Chain A
Amino acid sequence: QVQLAESGGGVVQPGRSLRLSCAASGFTFSSYGMHWVRQAPGKGLEWVAVIWFDASNNNYADSVKGRFTISRDNSKNTLYLQMNSLRAEDTAVYYCAREGQFGSGGGFDYWGQGTLVTVSS
């Protein structure tokens, strides 16, 4: 069965960096676009970033553009999110999500359980 498992969250000081990982299993990872979605405590879902199935393209929400970098290693079935210059407003649960094969601009058919990132001094 499809499984997505995030790791790498924790407490970090403002201005510092953190890298999240998402280990995928149960499907052909290299065939799917992958996303990061976050949810601040008590708030709604916010899309963060996308990477194409072959890493040929990516895109970011304006709130993280220039600070976060999404990447993937298809040989390791792993998705990454490098987060630099972290701010208090980046505090959230970060989910990795698989984009279903619904056509371009599709939705997310599988989600991980999330990893909590807390930015605080």
Chain B
Amino acid sequence: SYELTQPPSVSVSPGQTARVTCSGDALSKQYAYWYQQKPGQAPVLVIYKDTERPSGIPERFSGSSSGTTVTLTISGVQAEDEADYYCQSADSSATWVFGGGTKLTVL
């Protein structure tokens, strides 16, 4: 199996830009997905296939990819964006994996 590595925490002031990274060898070959999870709630998909945004997700959420690192960017962060964020991918042997999660704090 393989691993996806995320920073444990990111802090940003309202209106600023937050960037959450996710690194792993498989990301050069497989797509990444990002989820937002607020306390006591189920995760919500916010980015799929590295850069695509599901309907209903605000435009301030975007994704990018470079080599073995993918990045979730939240532009103009709002207080409601405070949550845990998880990256996820899968390998060719039908094994899915999540990153350890990043707690986004809006100061």
Contact = CB atoms under 8 A, between A and B. Distances in A.
A35 B98 CA distance: 13
Contacts of B49: 102-103, 107
Interface residues of A, number: 25
Interface string A96-111: 0000101111111101
When A and B form their complex, which 3 residue pairs have the shortest distance between CB atoms, in order from nearest? A107-B33, A105-B90, A47-B96
A99 to B, nearest CB: 9
Interface in B63-106: 84, 86, 88-101
Interface in A48-65: 50, 57, 59, 61-62
Interface of B: 1, 30-31, 33, 35, 37, 42-45, 48-49, 54, 84, 86, 88-101
Contacts of A103: 31, 49
Nearest to A114: B42
A102 B95 contact: no
B94 A50 contact: yes
B86 A105 contact: no
A118 to B, nearest CB: 17
Most B Cβ at <10 Å: residue of A44, A45, A47, A113: A45
Given A35-B96, A44-B98, A47-B97, A106 B90 contact: yes
B100 to A, nearest CB: 5
A12 B90 CA distance: 31
Nearest to A100: B48
B96 A105 contact: yes
A112 interface: yes
Nearest to A96: B42
Nearest to B101: A44
B87 to A, nearest CB: 10
A68 interface: no
B31 A105 contact: yes
A46 interface: yes
A91 B74 CA distance: 33
A108 B35 CA distance: 9
